Structure 1
């Protein structure tokens, strides 16, 4: 109880499910939550491109402008494509959904794996980059970069566990401050060019050429600059975050985000070209531009640097918004354990947030807070997802053939071809710089998702109700003295075995299931009548609604109410408990028996029966191996 109280204080009070609509965000708050990753890339995308071009000498830096224009054209194509994805899939039009509906479930796992990897790298790299920005201002923090990265990760995770509205408030101000500072940088810079500097570009510092300026080097610079496009998909994946009309608001916000990203990227690259800025390992390109425009040590320069620091840290929030939603979709399709789709007390997918925290912390620890290796992997996953999404939309419009389908299909075909070419360029140009790890990790994640899906289907089939079983029946007793309350996690064979056992020991049996909505309650009642037989009296099904995310508390409250209502009767709480056959089954089976036991054991003597059910061996349908015995545990009174 003490741990639960501390957790409640840490992440806030529980919110009723009815309030989920109120937890959705207006566009002004959703924009920073879902766009901080994409907008923050302005701080390093130009520098990444210049860092490759400088290998061909100072004269090659002028290629940054055409490369940036090509990246902006690609941004336009991708943004327009995902606007169409939102229209086609208003409940969430991310790459996984589009690929699943149009390219098949197996191909969709590739898109899902690519996005899971990209979200994880986004969180880790953004936080490490933010820490490095901080240590650049305060060199005394250099030995503590790893600890600072992990601390920032914990703070971002805590803000998201607090819920959507709190996260929107936390992340809105720094994101908008960064956008305003880039706008001021552009306006003051253009004014300076017009009034003082003139429109003749300064020559950059002389650097000797280490490589010839060929097509391959230009493509490498282009692929490095494409890191500006990470995070674009987050809005189409997180449509559920927006207030109604969610799809329309998401489309508008995506267009605004695309416009801001393209404008800011062009402004930074253009100012860097005009002022002859070259990459410097000690000072970032954006900082060099800020010194030239605002002056070293000026208030505006410090605001620019601090806002850059904050948005690099907050860019990780895009991953915390997208990863849990994608994981919940995969869990719904049985490709991940069902726990990933549980809503927490704050109406967020807290298990997904927890997994992302753990994996991101592992990456940060392996990299020791240094982005050198991880940043080379940034765009590989997202361009894989881009390509599959747009290819799926091509097939979608071809099958639909509604109004204007030719133009829509042509746009998505162009996007699929463009992003596929960029994907090949990234793989080839970055392979020896660390991209090989993602090339290996991607099929491994796909294999893992497919394995979970296969085993989950097998387990569900093995736990399905035996169609040949006799209907459950309990002879009514005029003066019942023993009641049994059975927890039902679902209408499956373990649950029916628990009910059958309860009927053998009690005069009155109530099977209780906690449901989320009324539609589910109606379907469950019909299925119960079909499988168990419709009867009234001593055996009944009780469906309880849960106003909060917890499915345990309504059951506990029901048990207490029944004990108070019938104090003269002995009450036994019966719980089915599935015995897994391997470690994977332990993650797939939704076992709440132990949690219920702990919740109902606190402060009162009760009788518990756990009916154990062993998963049958695959390949022998109908030959169920059951343990129809129960462990009866009597707890002493704690009072």
Structure 2
């Protein structure tokens, strides 16, 4: 019942052949991958003003120059990432670029920064969305944390249902927010032209708490750079687009940059003209809406509701980027392999689940207040920006193809500017919480490196022994009537030990591998021929296709069909299980054989033989094997 209920909640499994259908046109990919960047318009200006107000009312006039400087930085970064997409058409995120051009360890730094940034992005977006809601109804202020958690569950559920489902859910609110900012801008220009006049209102008088100096300006600039979070998501998510994916991704990135720059400048400009100052009870964008649309008007309420929706949906950028990055790290053996498994809806559901847990923890710790989190999450994204563009500089220098000088200079400029911003953020925000990220990134890099090193040890210990005795079934007279079907999760030593054990008691042995693509099939056949030899009548290898993400269902169906074809013989299902000795190995090893045993035990009585292979703990020269049968 629980499996059936879960299937209804997330939708029926999608076949792998429909993965191409899950790719999105530009008009749907834009809201999925750009909602974070576009939604930053709702709080980036306020973040800069929140620092400038410390210098008194007179300091607020610096918001426009700071906004223009940030827009210039947006242009540089976007042009650099367009080059990254061209260089890496399958996804040119910071981790891939840094890993390929600057080395694996530097790539881990970029990956750690992005993982932290994605988690903070999801939390900040949801908490900011609840603040937009409480600006409409102050009675909701005590309930911001539970509201944010409920919204988090809804966003996670939409992403677990698949990319196409998420695109349908998120498209309308994102475009509605863009439309409302456009209406706000047009109405503001009309008011400034025909009623208000182009003379800025003085902001409310506020005494200066700090002198206006370069350090304060840099702090305000670094806070306003929160408008740049999410820019990399399109470069990371090239595979989301329909073909030609790189071309469509570059176009969408350009559209996103134009929209972001125009909206950011419009909000900052109207805030300056209307003398808007930060207010703890109402957001800057809401204050502008009240001045332009009128307090309590339908358009004002619509602005706040669409702001709430896009801030909530901005968390989707993290839910799109975090699982994909985690899957790449798992493929490189820097995270548990389970993070690279596609769910029934063709999404990395384990990565989504991990992000749900981390985001919920951040929301609870911050108590729904974005103040601390906003100061943190720009640090990770600018670390990734800098390393990605520095990697492209080295790439163009090494390749020296046509036009390489112009490309290299563009990325060098981008790397230099983002590095300067990174230093500014670290220095100006260190006492405000940035020190936690400065410590967290090296710790996370160390953890990723430890996992990578342990995987190397495990795979070296479990690698097939080329000097082992040949595997063959010894003819028995008279025959015992036993047939063994061996589950082969991978061509490693535990699997071959399971085949060897099956050959010791059965008249015939069938080793079964469920493959996901044709390339895997060819590689697996070559390894079988290398370590076992060609198929014989008594010992054969069978490769099964998996139309869906599940690798267990095809094997279960094969076992059932084999038993029905030959009811006269005794069929034993032999399954290798790698038994971890270290606590870390428990998370690193995928114990799919246990789930397979449960699946095969549901239908009818069967004979099972579990071949346990103990993984060396780093001190043992080799693993040990034991077997036991269950009926």
The two structures have a TM-score, normalised by structure 2, of 0.98
Report the 3-state secondary structure (helix = DSSP H, G, I; strand = E; otherwise coil) of the residue aligned with 1:630.
strand
Deviation sequence 1:192-229 (CA, Å, 0-9, x none): 11122221222222212221111111101100100000
SS in 2 for 1:468: coil
The alpha carbon displacement at 1:412 in A equals 0.5
32-41 vs 581-590, which moves further = 581-590
How far apart are 1:372 and its partner, in Å?
A: 2.4
Gaps of 5+ in 1: 635-639
Q: Per-residue deviation at 1:479? A: 5.9
Kept in 2: contact 1:32–1:175 (CA 8 A): yes
Map 1:153-552 onto structure 2 (within 5 A): 153-475=152-474, 481-552=481-552
How far apart are the structure 1 equivalents of 2:613 and 2:414?
Answer: 52
- For residue 624 of structure 1, report the CA deviation from its aligned partner: 3.0
Partners of 1:517 and 1:414 in 2: CA distance = 42
Q: What is the SS of the residue equivalent to 2:370?
A: coil
Q: 1:567 — aligned with what? A: 567
1:630 aligned residue? 627
Q: Distance in 2 between matches of 1:410 and 1:584?
A: 44
Partner of 1:606: 606
**Pairwise CA distance, 1:496:** 0.4
Runs of 5+ consecutive residues of structure 2 not aligned to the other structure? none
**Contact 1:65/1:270, CA 8 A, preserved across alignment:** yes
Alpha-carbon shift at residue 596 of structure 1 (Å):
0.7
Report the CA distance between 1:139 and its aligned residue: 2.5
C-alpha distance in 1 between matches for 2:170 and 2:595? 35
* 1:98–1:389 CA contact under 8 A, matched in 2: yes
What's the secondary structure of 2:613's corresponding residue? strand
Q: CA deviation at 1:164?
A: 0.5
Q: Which residue of 2 aligns with 1:580?
A: 580
TM normalised by structure 1 equals 0.97
SS of structure 2 residue aligned to 1:373: helix
Is the Cα–Cα contact under 8 Å of residues 476 and 537 in structure 1 kept in the other structure? no
SS at match of 2:504: helix
SS at match of 1:315: helix
Deviation (angstroms), 1:617: 5.2
Distance 1:49 1:141 in 2: 26
**Residues 513 and 343 from structure 1, CA distance in 2 versus in 1: closer, same or farther, beyond 3 angstroms?**
same
3-state SS in 1 of match to 2:13: coil
Contact persistence 1:480–1:508 (CA under 8 A): no
- How far residue 74 of structure 1 moved from its aligned partner, in angstroms, is 0.2
Contact 1:476 1:508 in 2 (8 A): no
Q: Deviations over 1:283-338 (max 9, x none)?
A: 21111111111111111111111111111111111000000000000001000011
- 8 Å CA contact 2:144–2:368 kept in 1: the answer is yes
Q: 1:526, 1:541 → 2: CA distance?
A: 11
Provide the C-alpha distance between the structure 1 equivalents of 2:506 and 2:431, rounded to a whole number of angstroms. 69
Asked if the contact 1:462–1:618 (Cα under 8 Å) also holds between the matched residues in 2, the reply is: no
CA distance in 2: counterparts of 1:596 and 1:388, whole angstroms = 43
The answer for the alignment partner of 1:637 in structure 2 is none
Query: Secondary structure of the residue that 1:533 maps to in structure 2?
Result: coil
Query: Is the CA contact (8 Å cut-off) linking 2:474 and 2:504 kept in structure 1?
Result: no
Q: Secondary structure of the equivalent of 1:452? A: helix
1:466-496 Cα deviation digits (max 9, x unpaired): 1111221114569661100000011110000
CA apart distance, 1:619: 6.4
CA distance in 1, matches of 2:139, 2:221: 35
Name the SS of the counterpart of 2:499 in structure 1. helix
CA contact (8 A) 1:279 1:285 kept: yes
Cα drift, residue 569 of structure 1: 0.4
Give the Å deviation of 1:363.
1.1
User: Alignment partner of 2:261: what SS?
Assistant: helix
The correspondence of residues 121-132 of structure 1 with structure 2, limited to 5 A, is: 121-132=120-131
| 1:574/1:609 contact within 8 Å kept | yes
Deviates more, 1:134-143 or 1:502-511: 134-143
Give the conservation status (yes or no) of the 8 Å contact 1:391–1:416: yes
**Contact 1:49-1:224 at 8 Å conserved across structures:** yes
Q: How many residues align?
A: 630
Between 370-379 and 567-576, report the one with greater CA deviation.
370-379
Structure 1 residue matching 2:561: 3-state secondary structure: helix
* Distance of 1:50 and 1:625 partners within structure 2: 62
1:90-169 aligned within 5 A? 90-169=89-168
Check the 8 A contact 2:30/2:252 in 1, yes or no. yes
Cα gap change, 1:617/1:213 in structure 2, threshold over 3 Å: closer, same or farther? closer
SS in 1 for 2:486: strand
Distance in 2 of aligned mates of 1:269 and 1:446: 37
Closer, same or farther in 2 for the Cα pair 1:122/1:625, shift >3 Å?
A: closer
* Displacement of 1:615: 1.7
* SS of residue matched to 2:628: strand
Higher alpha-carbon deviation: 69-78 or 578-587: 578-587
Contact 1:13–1:345 (CA<8 Å) still a contact in 2?
yes
